[in-house]
Amino acid sequence: MKGKVAVKKQDIELFCQKIFDFYRNNRREFPWRETTDRYAVMISEIMLQQTQAERVVPRFNSWLQHFPDPAYLASAPLRDVLALWSGLGYNSRAVRLHRCANIIMERFGGTVPSQPELLKTLPGIGEYTCRSIPVFADNLDIAAVDTNIRRIIIHEFRLPEDISAARLQHVAQVLLPAGQSREWHNALMDYGALELTSKKTGIRPLTRQSKFQGSKRWYRGRLIKELIQREGMFVEEIEEKYASCPWEIDEIIDDLITDGLVERHESPGSISYPLLKIKGG
């Protein structure tokens, strides 16, 4: 690779020893670390996107009780999926998981694929997640670089913060101890979460979450929560209820329809007001 970063073998050995030593003394316990089931790992990895691990624990356990495999999830009404997801934020992740389950049933015989290139064809599975799923489920010798791991590598090896994703991926792959991918990535996660934090290093993530309260995402979440609890709402009622919303409520509704969360229906009877419902509900 042109311009690839050189890392000394001795530095790699010392770094690996430091990370594993920290992990032995500070290992966190999570239910998704106790399974190698690829479906369960996929659920945890999607839930952990932009959500703190401690908040995910009860939702992960509840999810597997209700939807223990792709077949259960694919056959569930979207309303039930969103109801169980409620509180995790970014409801579109639940919609994409629902779609994933249907595709897995149709194209992969109900088994979550293990190859990164196939995983990346599923909705909501990006560059990191297509690698992290087989890392944690199958101990695949491939580096998966998220925000925490990016920060650790940049800090420990004094790399520029604007290093390209390709070069960073190369360094991460060089650092990976063969045959220990699962434990290595768990160790890095714990080191980044407990020791080498963003606040301590000053290294900012590539993307930052905006303020949630009063944001467009906040209003989206409130509307979805109401629609889960009701059979439907007239669009006119929604417009009146959210009249103080600083965003165009019609635009929010259109976005929710585009994202596959809700659908617009003609109301029954002679009333011509359109009705908004959870998709498939």
Show which residues are catalytic: 45
Question: How is residue 139 written in tokens?
Answer: 């101990």
| Distance separating alpha carbons of residues 158 and 167, to the nearest angstrom | 14
Q: Cα dihedral angle (132, 135, 141, 147), rounded to 10 degrees?
A: 30
CB atoms under 10 Å from CB of 148, counted, come to 19
The residue whose two tokens read 């714990």 is 190
CB atoms under 10 Å from CB of 137, counted, come to 22
Hey, CA dihedral for 104, 105, 106, 111, is it positive or negative? positive
| Distance separating alpha carbons of residues 80 and 249, to the nearest angstrom | 24
Query: DSSP character for 214?
Result: T
| Distance separating alpha carbons of residues 185 and 187, to the nearest angstrom | 5
| Distance separating alpha carbons of residues 58 and 65, to the nearest angstrom | 11
Give yes or no for a contact between 112 and 42, defined as CB atoms under 8 angstroms apart.
yes
Give yes or no for a contact between 135 and 182, defined as CB atoms under 8 angstroms apart.
yes
| Distance separating alpha carbons of residues 4 and 269, to the nearest angstrom | 67
